[in-house]
Chain A
Amino acid sequence: MALLQIAEPGKSAAPHQRRIAVGIDLGTTNSLVAAVRSGVSEVLADEQGRFLLPSIVHYNEDGGVELGYNAAEKANQDPLNTIASAKRLMGKGFDEVAQMQAYELVSGPSQLAAFRTRAGDKTPLEIAAEILKSLVNRAEQSLGDEVNGAVITVPAYFDDTQRQATKDAATLAGINVLRLLNEPTAAAVAYGLDHQASGIHAIYDLGGGTFDISILNLSKGVFEVLATGGDTALGGDDFDLLIVQWIASQADYENLNVQQHRYVSAVAKAAKESLAEAATVNVELNEFGLQWQGELTRDQMNELIDPVIRRTLRACKKTLRDSGVDVSGIEQVVMVGGSTRVLSVRDQVGALFQSEPLVSIDPDRVVAMGAAIQADILIGNRPDSEMLLLDVLPLSLGIETVGGLSEKIIPRNTTLPVSRAQEFTTYQDGQVMMSIHVLQGEREMVQDCRSLAKFTLKDIPPAVAGAAKIRVAFQVDADGLLTVSAQELTTQKTTQVEVKPSFGLEEVEIRRMLQESFANAAEDAAARALREIQVDGQRLLDALDAAIAEDGKLLSESETLSLQTEMDALRVLVAGEQKTDLERAIAHLNKSSEAFAAARMNASIEVALTGKSIDSLE
């Protein structure tokens, strides 16, 4: 269980006490956890000294859950209860992925795809939560302390639903998410800080199931993403599949069953890995009723996988155009992800960018290492750090307009965070409701974009058509997550927005999953919910203590007094067990500290521009 430590009431944690934060690379094939120790970012190994955790979860007959290498061993015998590559289905609707092989898929909550297992129907989000929990446990064992927060990486090209699903998985695993960080940006951080790099860099990240290309400008600790592109359903798995098809056609096998398919995939993967070193490899099938032997050369494999590599190169060219940089402007190209071990990938990427690809950091570990560095900064262990990550929105956000067209509101590659507003009006006399369909993607037609959510604006004051003015504001935060709010402008009344995510879980679903996951655990969900709120309360107190210590001079005497009084009351509640009162006090204190927060922000802007400290601004 990864919950935060709670300081004794009245004795908040010392401001400079070092806190533990980790970076987690939640991969399609393998996952890793890293932390900064003595100023160095390192990937944490399990008890057997292994760094990778295969992203595989097995539900066994005794009602237990096995992970990683242990689960991988069960993949061949019990494929339907052994889930691998769940990341490919994150945030996907059942209808979108029903054809995915090798599993029994069902339509789960909110029409999300779910795996049918003996332990019940499991959404990819629940599978991811198991992996995250296991990684946090590993970190706590290895570091001998509780983990206070984590930065979790996602493919840069993940859309809003996929990001939200990842964040929900972390919530389910009880992790305090400091930030969702894009994988190529994380790699850039690891390389940038290690090599004192500057100039424009391309990060080519080909993992097991996802591909990203990001173009970044690195300068004096600022990592500015200029453009990003990719494909969230393209990776080393596709290389394996092409080799499986080749083996099947060579061996004349027409219909492989689930078990056989898994087996041949494993053989294909091993052959691919061998060909990174050897020029030819012997391929042999001798299990699950299959009997065949043959030889695969590197040239043959290169030919097989060439279409996949070409697709990645097309995405690179497109992203380069988006960034407004041409090939000659690229300082260096960095290789990330296990699939960049394939020599043909390195050769072709090197040729495209006209430079020798940089591979000096292990392509499997670099993302987790970068994430750990950012986690260490975000948790507050490096107050003097000058590092600044400016990432972008990977896919345009739009809304459905007349004729089934998508009108772009925020274009792709806009720097985050971003907020944009759009005004809408009624088209019928007396209209009191309005539906807004939020979309993500580049295509013109609604059906070619991804549906994010449908919003219904209610209580619009009845008037003639075109008289009401509704302002809908879109806010995308630094995690790349969207929130929408609406206001009726003629009455200034904030219009009620009913959010119906197209492929997302509602909070009640997450609570239910949480409850289920506690069915066999010692602690129950209610107790954990209370503890989480206590942690929230303590975090708020710590934040305000620090803010007052730093900028208390921005408050008048009476403001300080009323804030302190509320804080004292909260301190008492944090130590108690009155969940509802505690929640209410937190919400209230958040509200009453808004003006102080805004004042601090304005003071910060002044400081930035004049180079003076806040003290001299009074």
Chain B
Amino acid sequence: MDFKQNYFELFQLPIAYQVDSHRLNDAYRELQTQIHPDRYAQGSEAEKLSSVQASSFVNEAYQTLKSSVSRARYLVELAGVAIDLSATTIADGAFLMQQMELREELEDASHSADPEKLLEKIAQQVHDNLADLVRSFSALSEPWDFNDLNVESVGQGAQLVYQMKFLEKLSIEIENIEQSLLD
């Protein structure tokens, strides 16, 4: 299967952080309509396998481009900088300080009288911070020319991605705590 093309090419979108979500959705649906395993229920085993692989690839591509965090990561990796989450190093001291404070608040919230209200406040904070990072990344990557990449700018982009992933993880933790309060 010829899946060497990148996710943007797959959906015939320009390689850029800003994505036209209507075009992405339409292209995704059009592709799945053609290749989904339901279209090959009467096919040979080879066709069924081929369809599952192609359909999985298209799903993965779609999910990656749909989320603003994973799209940023994908773009940085496409620009040649691998993101290794097991060895994250965040250089931004102010960001780290802010995160430590948020974590402390989260710790306190679980033991407070009205945890749900506090959790919601922290979740909102995380959400806002994430939105800021998305804006920064968008501005940073705007001038990227994939034929002539500015290595330093891409490196800064990678730093932003690490920060986004950091916040994403925190928001999953908040959700888990909220969930345990519901149960």
Verify if A598 is at the interface (C-beta below 8 Å from B): yes
Q: B137 → chain A, closest Cβ, in Å? A: 21
Contact between A604 and B35 (Cβ–Cβ < 8 Å)?
A: yes
Q: A543 → chain B, closest Cβ, in Å? A: 4
Contact between B47 and A418 (Cβ–Cβ < 8 Å)?
A: no
Contact between B38 and A388 (Cβ–Cβ < 8 Å)?
A: yes
Q: Which residues of B contact A314 (CB under 8 A)?
A: 182-183
Q: Which residues of B contact A380 (CB under 8 A)?
A: 41-42
Select which of B10, B29, B34 is within 8 A of A222 by beta carbon.
Answer: B29
Q: Which residues of A contact B50 (CB under 8 A)?
A: 594, 597-598, 600-601
Select which of B12, B54, B60 is within 8 A of A609 by beta carbon.
Answer: B12
Contact between B47 and A547 (Cβ–Cβ < 8 Å)?
A: yes
Verify if B170 is at the interface (C-beta below 8 Å from A): no
Select which of A318, A417, A597 is within 8 A of B179 by beta carbon.
Answer: A318
Verify if B18 is at the interface (C-beta below 8 Å from A): no
Range class of the A interface residue count = 35 or more
Contact between B33 and A543 (Cβ–Cβ < 8 Å)?
A: no
Verify if B43 is at the interface (C-beta below 8 Å from A): yes
The complex places the Cα of A415 from the Cα of B60 at a distance, in Å, of 9
Q: Which residues of B contact A597 (CB under 8 A)?
A: 43-44, 46-47, 49-50
Q: Which residues of B contact A386 (CB under 8 A)?
A: 33
Contact between A609 and B30 (Cβ–Cβ < 8 Å)?
A: yes
The complex places the Cα of A477 from the Cα of B37 at a distance, in Å, of 8
Verify if A526 is at the interface (C-beta below 8 Å from B): no
Q: Which residues of A contact B60 (CB under 8 A)?
A: 418-420
The complex places the Cα of A378 from the Cα of B33 at a distance, in Å, of 13
The complex places the Cα of A31 from the Cα of B155 at a distance, in Å, of 59
Verify if A56 is at the interface (C-beta below 8 Å from B): no
Contact between A601 and B37 (Cβ–Cβ < 8 Å)?
A: no
Q: A479 → chain B, closest Cβ, in Å? A: 9
Q: Which residues of B contact A593 (CB under 8 A)?
A: 44, 46-47
Q: Which residues of A contact B182 (CB under 8 A)?
A: 314, 317-318
The complex places the Cα of A539 from the Cα of B47 at a distance, in Å, of 12
Contact between A388 and B56 (Cβ–Cβ < 8 Å)?
A: no
Output the nearest chain A residue to B53 by Cβ-Cβ distance.
A419
Residues A354-398 near B (CB distance < 8 A): 374, 377-380, 386, 388-390
Contact between B34 and A590 (Cβ–Cβ < 8 Å)?
A: no
Contact between A178 and B41 (Cβ–Cβ < 8 Å)?
A: yes
What is the interface of chain B mostly: helix, strand, loop, or mixed? Answer: helix
The complex places the Cα of A390 from the Cα of B36 at a distance, in Å, of 9
Output the nearest chain B residue to A390 by Cβ-Cβ distance.
B32
The complex places the Cα of A543 from the Cα of B36 at a distance, in Å, of 16
Verify if B2 is at the interface (C-beta below 8 Å from A): yes
Verify if B45 is at the interface (C-beta below 8 Å from A): yes
Contact between A542 and B52 (Cβ–Cβ < 8 Å)?
A: no
Contact between A605 and B56 (Cβ–Cβ < 8 Å)?
A: no
The complex places the Cα of A450 from the Cα of B104 at a distance, in Å, of 33
Verify if A137 is at the interface (C-beta below 8 Å from B): no
Output the nearest chain B residue to A314 by Cβ-Cβ distance.
B182
Contact between A378 and B42 (Cβ–Cβ < 8 Å)?
A: yes
Q: Which residues of B contact A415 (CB under 8 A)?
A: 59, 62-63
Q: Which residues of B contact A388 (CB under 8 A)?
A: 29, 32-33, 36, 38
Verify if A283 is at the interface (C-beta below 8 Å from B): no
Q: A534 → chain B, closest Cβ, in Å? A: 16
Contact between A608 and B33 (Cβ–Cβ < 8 Å)?
A: yes
Q: Which residues of B contact A390 (CB under 8 A)?
A: 32, 36
Residues A574-614 near B (CB distance < 8 A): 589-591, 593-594, 596-598, 600-602, 604-605, 607-609
Residues A535-555 near B (CB distance < 8 A): 539-540, 542-544, 546-547
**A609-B46 contact, Cβ under 8 Å, with A388-B33, A418-B59, A601-B54:** no
Verify if B107 is at the interface (C-beta below 8 Å from A): no
Q: A514 → chain B, closest Cβ, in Å? A: 22
The complex places the Cα of A388 from the Cα of B30 at a distance, in Å, of 10
Residues A401-436 near B (CB distance < 8 A): 414-420
Contact between A594 and B46 (Cβ–Cβ < 8 Å)?
A: yes
A61-101 interface code vs B (CB 8 A; 1 in, 0 out) = 00000000000000000000000000000000000000000
With an 8 Å Cβ cutoff, the count of chain B residues facing the other chain is 40
The complex places the Cα of A596 from the Cα of B49 at a distance, in Å, of 12
Q: Which residues of B contact A379 (CB under 8 A)?
A: 41-42
Output the nearest chain A residue to B179 by Cβ-Cβ distance.
A318
Residues A506-520 near B (CB distance < 8 A): none
Q: Which residues of A contact B32 (CB under 8 A)?
A: 388, 390
Q: Which residues of B contact A475 (CB under 8 A)?
A: 52, 56
Verify if A321 is at the interface (C-beta below 8 Å from B): yes
Contact between A321 and B42 (Cβ–Cβ < 8 Å)?
A: no
Q: A94 → chain B, closest Cβ, in Å? A: 28
Output the nearest chain A residue to B59 by Cβ-Cβ distance.
A415
Contact between B52 and A477 (Cβ–Cβ < 8 Å)?
A: yes
Q: Which residues of A contact B179 (CB under 8 A)?
A: 318
Q: B157 → chain A, closest Cβ, in Å? A: 24
Verify if B175 is at the interface (C-beta below 8 Å from A): yes
The complex places the Cα of A540 from the Cα of B31 at a distance, in Å, of 25
Q: Which residues of A contact B62 (CB under 8 A)?
A: 415
The complex places the Cα of A380 from the Cα of B41 at a distance, in Å, of 8
Contact between B35 and A601 (Cβ–Cβ < 8 Å)?
A: yes
Contact between A590 and B42 (Cβ–Cβ < 8 Å)?
A: no
Contact between B46 and A602 (Cβ–Cβ < 8 Å)?
A: no
**A590-B52 contact, Cβ under 8 Å, with A602-B1, A602-B2:** no
Select which of B1, B56, B175 is within 8 A of A417 by beta carbon.
Answer: B56
Contact between B56 and A542 (Cβ–Cβ < 8 Å)?
A: no
The complex places the Cα of A591 from the Cα of B46 at a distance, in Å, of 7
**A179-B38 contact, Cβ under 8 Å, with A417-B56, A605-B31:** yes
| Of listed B50, B57, B63, residue having the most chain A CB within 10 A | B50
**A540-B38 contact, Cβ under 8 Å, with A419-B56, A602-B2, A609-B30:** no
Output the nearest chain B residue to A221 by Cβ-Cβ distance.
B33
| Of listed A379, A380, A419, residue having the most chain B CB within 10 A | A419
Q: Which residues of B contact A266 (CB under 8 A)?
A: none
The complex places the Cα of A478 from the Cα of B53 at a distance, in Å, of 11
The complex places the Cα of A460 from the Cα of B80 at a distance, in Å, of 31
Given contacts A419-B56, A593-B47, A594-B49, 19 further A-B contacts (CB under 8 A): A179-B41, A378-B42, A380-B42, A388-B33, A415-B62, A417-B59, A419-B60, A477-B52, A539-B42, A593-B44, A597-B43, A597-B47, A598-B1, A601-B54, A605-B10, A605-B34, A607-B34, A608-B27, A609-B30
Q: What are some 5 contacts across the A-B interface (CB < 8 A)?
A: A178-B41, A378-B38, A419-B52, A604-B34, A609-B11
